[in-house]
Amino acid sequence: MIALQLRESPSKQMVWLSPVIALALTLVICPLIFAALGKDPWQGFAVFFLNPFSSAYNLGEMMLKATPLMLIGLGLSIGFRCNVWNIGAEGQYLAGAAAATWVAISFAPMGGGVSLVMMGLAGMVGGMAWAAIPAFLRSHFNANEILVSLMLVYVADLGVSWLVQTPWRDPAGFNFPQTIQFADGFMLPVMFNGLRVTWVFPLAVILLGVAHVFMRHSYLGFQMRVAGQSEAAARYAGFSLHKTIWVGLLSGGAMAGLAGMAEIAGPVGQLTDKISVGYGFTAIIVAFIGRLNPIGIFLGSLLMAAFSLGGEQVQQYLGLTSSIAKAFQGLLLLLLLGCDVLINWKIKLKSS
């Protein structure tokens, strides 16, 4: 008989081993799934998990896809730490992309990166404005932020669809739902010639460090960590729970908005109704698997990006659909939640 026994204190090693075990289990299950789909399991494994690392171009693509995941995962982790469940990052990403687009199509480009800074700020403000709605409704009306932020994803999606179909539609775009291509001054420079990854990638890494310092070494960060561990303790200490709700949601909104800006001013180059590809939801997995910790989020976002890229590789070389990546990401998340039981519990073999 296998039984669970409560540990005296949560295992610090297991906090980090759990994602590793979950990933290992995913790697074991992966060939089985390819076999079930009638493909050579080892070939499937190699194409899905190894191809993303096989060339400079693929590594660049991985960094490109990891950028929004890292930004959003970082923003969400601040809220998740104090039990503010912002599930609507996808909507905040869209709002940020729309706000940044407004800058790009309304102003003439300015030199010295001023235009890009304006776009980035607009993106963050747009994302924060969208996140402010659930923050306000939660703090003033006690409305569940999970459901409100999620409903706003659909609203943002419809809003972007309206913008690109009606007021912002490119008149010379053959009626496609898209804006004009942004002028060069509104496009992010790439890090390496021939690759698409932009300078937002290192910026995201720096922001991870900034967030770490904020959570670890600032008074507000301390308040938020206390609120996450025990709401009663936070209230007893006189910490404002409203403040943690606002900071938690707005940091997620700002980072998601910046990610939206980085997407339209980077690989896409215009606003279309197809920019919502689920980064906001995948970033939830990144935050969980990264243990809400900056190094974890860095690695988690690269891993999830590798999965997405693996999906594209599988589509290209094995003729399977790329959405297999989403299935694997979901599987990994479920396995992770299962492995997390080992943090608080020990497995004991009982002789019956």
Partner 1 sequence: MTPLLTAILIATIISGTPLVIAALGELVVEKSGVLNLGIEGMMAVGALAGFAVTYHTGQAGLGILAAMLAGMALSLVFAVLALTLMANQVACGLALSIAGLGLAGFLGKPYEALSLPQIHPLPIPILADIPIVGTIFFHHQILVYVSWALFAAVMVFLYKTRAGLLVRAIGESPHSAHAIGSNVIAIRYAATLFGGAMAGLAGAFMSIFFTPLWDERMISGRGWIAAALVVFATWRPARVLIGAYLFGGVMILQLFIQGSGWQISIPSQFLSAMPYLATILVLVVISQNRRTIRLHSPMSLGVSYRPD
Q: Which of 57, 230, 330, 348 binds partner 1 (CB under 8 A)?
A: 330
Determine if 338 is a binding residue for partner 1 (CB under 8 A).
Answer: yes
Residues 55-114 that bind partner 1 (CB under 8 A): 85, 87
Answer for the pair 224, 244: CB distance below 8 angstroms, yes or no. yes
The DSSP line for 272-327 is BTT---SHHHHHHHHHHHTTT-HHHHHHHHHHHHHHHHHHHHHHHHH---TTHHHH
In the complex, minimum distance from the CB of residue 263 to partner 1, in angstroms, rounded to a whole number? 20
Minimum distance between the CB of residue 50 and partner 1, rounded to whole angstroms?
20
The closest of 94, 86, 90 to 144, measured between CA atoms, is: 86
Nearer to partner 1, 181 or 322 (CB): 322
Q: Residue 16, exposed/middle/buried by CB under 10 A (0-12, 13-18, 19+)?
A: middle
The candidate with the shortest Cα–Cα distance to 25, out of 337, 350, 279, is 337
* Beta carbon nearer to partner 1, 117 or 327: 327
Handedness of CA 179, 204, 67, 333 (dihedral sign): negative
Count, residues near partner 1 per rule CB under 8 A: 43
CB under 8 A, 24+ apart: contacts of 317-323? 317/47, 317/51, 318/39, 318/43, 318/44, 318/47, 320/37, 320/39
Binding mask 124-163 for partner 1 (x = CB under 8 A): ---------x---x---xxxx-xxx-xxx-xx--xx-xx-
98-106, 215-223, 297-305, 324-332 -> range binding partner 1 (CB under 8 A):
324-332
The stretch near partner 1 (CB under 8 A) out of 56-64, 237-245, 255-263, 339-347 is: 339-347
Does 327 sit near partner 1 (CB under 8 A)? yes
323 lies in the site for partner 1, by CB under 8 A? yes
Q: Interface residues with partner 1 (CB under 8 A)?
A: 85, 87, 133, 137, 141-144, 146-148, 150-152, 154-155, 158-159, 161-162, 165-166, 281, 284-285, 288, 321, 323-324, 326-331, 333-334, 337-338, 340-341, 344-345
